[in-house]
Structure 1
Amino acid sequence: MISIISGIGWHTVGAASAASFYAPISKVKQWSWETTWAIAGLFSWILLPWIVTWFLVPDFSSFYGQISSHAFLGMFLFGAMWGIGNVNYGLTMRYLGMSLGIGIAIGVTLVVGTIMPTIINGTFLHLLTTRSGQITMVGIIIALVGIAIVTYAGHKKEQALGSQVVDFNLKKGLILAVFCGIFSAGFAFGLSAAEPIRLESLHIGIDPLYAMLPSYGIIMGGGALVNFAYCFIRLAIKPELSVRHDFSFPWKNLIINGVLAATGGIMWYLQFFFYAWGQASIPNSLSFVNWMLHMSMYVLCGGIVGLALAEWKGVGSRPVRILCLGMIVIVIAANVVGLGMAAEA
């Protein structure tokens, strides 16, 4: 039971980092979003995953030589799938706005990333036929209700602040949100494909908390390929965007922007670093709950961060009460999932 509680706790820490990562990025001035995102991604998807792996793995060639090419391909392709979800994420915000876009996308991601791996692995019937699985499924449904409530609160906030989505298109936005949710779940699929790396990490004596981390460079490498391609293509073909312009400012400005972007990228990576800790703390037979916990805690921490940064100032008490209700429901969902895991254990 203590392991389960610590697992939920580590997922919360990771989600808090994810919910806060955009704060330093939003402080970057005079750079295009594409340049900022590419710098953040360099730290998040390339440097940190491989630096951490370098500390953990004494001999790369010997370690990765034990892994089949099929597993490598699966991890990389699922990472690229996750990267496509990241690109769709921004387009979803464009057509639906932040609240509706995030709520729908994360709701779909939670369901797909939680349920599909169990179907692929042939363990889905376990969810439906055992007491622990049924309790856990109830927790997943409660989490979706909580996400819906938080999404509604965010929509009311945007209305109260007079925020308008210039390119609002419900049909196009919903389609993109669903695609975003499905493709973003690629990271969960990538982690399932990375099971051989986790087992090899344990075999050479790596602490279980870190056993999944050597797979991140491959999974995130797939995502990096898609994201970098998107950013660089836009910088190349859009006349209003220019790398030369972004790096034409004094060194002091460049250093400040670089540090802010890098900080955001590091915080984005840390969500998955602590995801690995949370996953390691939860019994392998219950691994399907990790993605659900991560995504629901992401929404919960996003609400808390928004309140802490005074993003809800001036919206009135009703949207804030709705937000708090949604966050309470998500906490209840996490507790229900914890009960389901305790019943299994």
Structure 2
Amino acid sequence: MEARMTVRPGAGLFWLFIAGVMQGAFPLPMKFASKWKWEHLWGWYSLLAFVVLPFVLAWLTVPHLDQVYTKASSQALWSIAAFGILWGAGSVLYGLGIDALGMALGFSIMTALTTALGALVPLAVLTPDLLFRRSGVLIIAGNIVTIAGVAVCACAGEQRDRQRDKVGAPILGPARSFTAALIICIVAGALSAMFNFGYAFGEPLVRSATALGATRDDALNAVWLVMLPAGGLINLAYCAHLLRKNASADLLRRGGTVEWSSGAIMAVMWTGSVIVYGWGANALGRLGPTLGWSLWNAILIGTTVFCGLATREWQGVHGRPIRWLAAGIATLVTGMFVLGMGVE
């Protein structure tokens, strides 16, 4: 028998808060793995977060896992996998975007775009009856406010780079401009919205799992096991490309406890956040893919900005860039709450 969807707003908000904090803080260990290059840490993290942990969780929590996939339609499986591949490309660019613009600015810009697209498309496809009502107008308005916040943050970043000494600044490389880094973040944000599409349109697989005895929360692990490895392959392939291009495979041996544990902590925090997000979104019922997605991202943006400022990404910057950053972050968070309020 299929598990019925029970709406539990209090539990949903609690789990979304936990998920947002975990997701917002997961890149923090990247700052401490000094013996590895980006490709080493991201590759190790990707293997654990996108392949190993999803398999273990699905195997432990979803009864008759093999039958879940045989009973589901091939169209549903391929759709989820396709969303995973596109999201995986965005995930690679997410890592590069953090390296390019820093944790506070880069992560905030990418998350703003991901939130706007990830909320609007499921709204239009899954709940079209809300699109032209008051809630739909508010959600569209929230997207406009969110994009405005992206523009303000971009101005803050450009002014920051003009003001401060570039030595030690988090950039992709000497040949990369702020504009190039910003484009990377924008593309990453758009592609990363595919993650929520995989969740929102994974209902056929959830029904297959619940029919075989899984709870709705655990049934999502069957969705993650299709989507995350598909995206993980993109991440791992890119890391392998960099290892060959930079002839840096030998650096893996230099990794100590800090490097290996940093990647593992990132993986546990990221995958844990995804699982808990599923719990929170499920608890909101029909509104999960839109309201849950918006609130999750609003919370993680606040966490990300706090982490970025706490690790002194903006040290030495003063005056106008800081005021623009504060205005941009406030606009982003406002836009996301407008998105959330727009869903009935």
* Superposition TM-score, scaled by structure 2 size: 0.82
Residues 54, 90 of structure 1: CA spacing in aligned structure 2 closer, same or farther, 3 A cutoff?
A: closer
Provide the residue aligned with 2:3 in structure 1: none
Provide the residue aligned with 2:264 in structure 1: 262
Residues 237, 323 of structure 1: CA spacing in aligned structure 2 closer, same or farther, 3 A cutoff?
A: closer
Q: Does 1:18 align with 2:23?
A: yes
Residues 155-195 of structure 1: CA distance to partner in whole angstroms, max 9, x if unpaired? Answer: 54444432365323466555544432332222122213311
Match of 1:233 among 241, 248, 265: 241
Provide the residue aligned with 2:342 in structure 1: 340
Q: Does 1:141 align with 2:149?
A: no
* Shift in Å, 1:19: 2.1
User: Take 1:317 and 1:179, find their aligned partners in 2: how far apart are those partners?
Assistant: 30
The answer to whether the 8 Å contact 2:30/2:41 transfers is: yes
Q: How does 1:245-324 map to 2 (within 5 A)?
A: 245-247=251-253, 249=254, 254-285=256-287, 287-316=289-318, 319-324=321-326
User: Take 2:234 and 2:313, find their aligned partners in 1: how far apart are those partners?
Assistant: 31
Structure 2 unaligned runs (5+)? Answer: 1-6
Match of 2:73 among 68, 73, 76: 68
Moved more, 135-144 or 276-285: 135-144
Residues 17-64 of structure 1: CA distance to partner in whole angstroms, max 9, x if unpaired? Answer: 222112223211322321211111122111211222122113222233
User: Take 2:188 and 2:50, find their aligned partners in 1: how far apart are those partners?
Assistant: 19
Residues 210-255 of structure 1: CA distance to partner in whole angstroms, max 9, x if unpaired? Answer: 432221121011111111111112212333x12x3421x4xxx533
Moved more, 271-280 or 196-205: 196-205
Residues 115-168 of structure 1: CA distance to partner in whole angstroms, max 9, x if unpaired? Answer: 23344x2644632x1122223333343344444444544554444432365323
* Superposition TM-score, scaled by structure 1 size: 0.82
Q: Does 1:130 align with 2:136?
A: no
User: Take 1:310 and 1:173, find their aligned partners in 2: how far apart are those partners?
Assistant: 20
User: Take 1:334 and 1:93, find their aligned partners in 2: how far apart are those partners?
Assistant: 21
AA partner of residue 138 (structure 2):
I
What is the count of residue pairs matched by the alignment?
A: 333
Provide the residue aligned with 2:60 in structure 1: 55
* Shift in Å, 1:287: 2.5
The answer to whether the 8 Å contact 1:79/1:219 transfers is: yes
% same residue: 27
AA partner of residue 136 (structure 2):
G
The answer to whether the 8 Å contact 2:104/2:307 transfers is: no
Report the secondary structure of 2:32's partner residue.
coil
Q: Does 1:181 align with 2:189?
A: yes
Residues 99, 307 of structure 1: CA spacing in aligned structure 2 closer, same or farther, 3 A cutoff?
A: closer
Over the aligned positions, Cα root-mean-square deviation in angstroms equals 3.1
Q: Does 1:111 align with 2:119?
A: no
AA partner of residue 18 (structure 2):
V
AA partner of residue 233 (structure 2):
L
Provide the residue aligned with 2:199 in structure 1: 191
AA partner of residue 110 (structure 1):
T
* Shift in Å, 1:285: 4.6
Structure 1 unaligned runs (5+)? Answer: none
Provide the residue aligned with 2:91 in structure 1: 86
The answer to whether the 8 Å contact 1:198/1:212 transfers is: yes
Match of 1:162 among 156, 161, 165: 165
The answer to whether the 8 Å contact 1:84/1:227 transfers is: yes
User: Take 2:224 and 2:137, find their aligned partners in 1: how far apart are those partners?
Assistant: 31
Q: Does 1:224 align with 2:232?
A: yes
